[in-house]
Amino acid sequence: MTNPFRTSTAALALGLGMLASGAYAETVVDFTVAEYSSKTGPYFQKVADDFTAANPDIKINIEVVPWDTLLQRLTTDVAGGNAPDISIIGTRWLLDFASQGVAEPVDGYLTPEFKDSFIGTFMNPGIIDGKMMGLPVAASARAMMVNMDIYDKAGVAPPTTWDELYAASKKIAELPDVYAFGLQGKEIETDAYFYYNLWTHGGDILNADGTSGLDSEAAITSAKLYKQMIDEGLTQPSPTNYTREDVFNMFKQGQLATIFTFPMLIPQIKEEAPNLHYKILPFPEAGAKATYGVTDTLMMFSDSDVKEAAWKFIEFAYQDKYREEFDLGEGFLPVTKNVAALDHFTSDPDVAGFAAGLPYAKFAPVIANWEEIADVTVRTLQQIYLGDVTPEDGLKAAAAEINKIRGL
């Protein structure tokens, strides 16, 4: 059903369009967007279209890149001199970008009113050497999610402490076809799954003096606990074959009683497993309360020639209506005060469950070589889970290696 007339009109229009764009002195802002879900690309395209409709002389060129390849992509873009003008990045990378002079401080652009629209907690990770190196664009906190059907069946209450979690898991493990605790052991954020445990035992990634906290008493206790749960069949078998998504998928299928997760799972569950009776609860404690706060940053590149236009777009995109659509669509916690005050974010028990931890949230330390340090941690955890090393030996070696990477 190709209509030759329509095709030629389209070609003509395209030609005219190109002529037209050549005639104006048009500013093009290249914006690299991290793909959170299938909704991310269309959402930002819509915001960009609205913006261009209001500012015909500025065109926003959106490029959507999956998270897995984003850092590699930006590295090669910067190395090849083709860096975009603005990009969404993981805040954990920000120090590398800032220390190499790739990131542009935004203090000069940020009006007091605009600055005041953000929630302070989420601004802090973007401050390096007293300068604001980017704006928080997405935030999440982590929490425990339990399958109430399984807990009810086993006749146990959802736990608030690690001892209770262990005891409840023992009971649940006796049920057929389900596993008590989903433990991630493969790929991105394998280390985070351990930090939840470490933090709630009172440990930390880094000690006060900057050395690795992996050889602390708390770290060894928490690693031993995970290993014990693996050995006693309280987790799914062979955690080193389970990525975050694999664990979450098992939870959706009703095969896991307890997981540690992020708010983005809620829209997925509502869509894929609407009959699942889940509950969001704080992480179990063993002496300390903690959650993991994660933010992503909207960063401007110092090489950009169109910073003014890029900033104009940023201010446009942070309007409440766009932020609301973004946070709702992707399942994030709001980073701006106005959106946080909206009904959905104050009354929804799921969001409230995740947001409850924010006052005591921990963020990944802003240090150089973070990815390498995380890699050492993941490797060590996998060795411990597999039984190749004891928690004591493994963590001591890992701490020494991390201290070496940190130059301490």
Partner 1 sequence: MQKSIPLLMIVPSLLMAMAIIGYPILDLAWTSSQEVSRFGKLTGFAGWENFAEVFGDQLFWDSLWRTGIWTFFVVVGTLAVSLPVAIILNDDFYGRGLARVIIMLPWSVSLTMTAVVWRWALNGRAGLLNATLMDIGIIDQPVEWLATASTAFVVEILVGILVSIPFTTTILLGGLSAMPQDTYEAAMVDGASGWHQFRYITLPLMKPFINIAIVLNVIYVFNSLPIIWVMTEGGPANGTDILVTYLYKLAFRFGQLGKAAAISLIMFGVLLVFTLLYVALVSRGEEDAAPEDEKEA
How do beta strands 291-300 and 361-363 pair? Answer: parallel
Site string for partner 1, 168-197 (x = CB under 8 A): -----------------xxx----------
The amino acid that residue 47 corresponds to is V
- 406 near partner 1 (CB under 8 A): no
Q: Can residue 149 be called a binding residue for partner 1 (CB under 8 A)? A: no
Interface with partner 1 includes 245 (CB under 8 A)? no
The Cα–Cα gap between 286 and 194 comes to: 14
Window of 27-35, 41-49, 69-77, 208-216 that interacts with partner 1 by CB under 8 A: 69-77
Q: Which DSSP symbol is given to 105?
A: P
Between 37 and 72, CB nearer to partner 1: 72
Cβ contact 300:134 at 8 Å: yes
- Lookup: tokens for 34: 């991290």
Integer Cα distance of 219 and 205 in angstroms: 9
The nearer residue to partner 1, 48 or 398, going by C-beta atoms, is 398
Residue 75 makes contact with partner 1 by CB under 8 A: yes
- Quick check: 236 binds partner 1 (CB under 8 A)? yes
Assess contact for 348 and 266: CB atoms under 8 A.
Answer: no
Distances (CA, A) of 356 to 80, 136, 140, 302, 360: 44, 19, 11, 37, 9
The binder of partner 1 chosen from 57, 152, 305, 372 (CB under 8 A): 372
Is 77:83 a contact under the CB 8 Å cutoff?
Answer: yes
Rank residues 34 and 280 by Cβ distance to partner 1 and give the closer one: 34
Name the segment binding partner 1 (CB under 8 A); options: 33-41, 129-137, 275-283, 376-384.
Answer: 376-384
Phi-psi region of 89 (alpha: psi -120 to 50; beta: other; left: phi over 0): beta
Task: Report if residue 402 touches partner 1, rule: CB under 8 A.
Answer: no
Q: In this chain, which of 279, 379, 400, 406 binds partner 1, going by CB under 8 A?
A: 379
Alpha carbon distance 227, 128 (integer Å): 37
Minimum gap (Å) between residue 100 Cβ and partner 1: 5
Q: What is the DSSP string of 213-243?
A: -TTSHHHHHHHHHHHHHHHTT-BPS-GGG--
Nearer to partner 1, 324 or 392 (CB): 392
Q: Between residue 248 and residue 307, which ones bind partner 1 under the rule CB under 8 A?
A: 249-250, 255
Structure tokens at 252: 């959706």
* Edge-to-edge strands, sheet with 278-281: 179-181, 256-261, 143-147, 278-281
Does position 102 interact with partner 1 (CB under 8 A)? The reply is: yes
Q: Binding to partner 1 by residue 238, rule CB under 8 A?
A: yes
Reading the block at residue 372, the tokens are 């390498």
Residue span binding partner 1 (CB under 8 A) among the ranges 27-35, 148-156, 157-165, 243-251:
243-251
The answer to the question of residue 241 lying near partner 1 (CB under 8 A) is yes
User: What residues line the site for partner 1 (CB under 8 A)?
Assistant: 71-72, 75-76, 78-80, 96, 100, 102, 185-187, 236-241, 246, 249-250, 255, 369, 371-372, 375, 378-380, 382-383, 385-386, 388
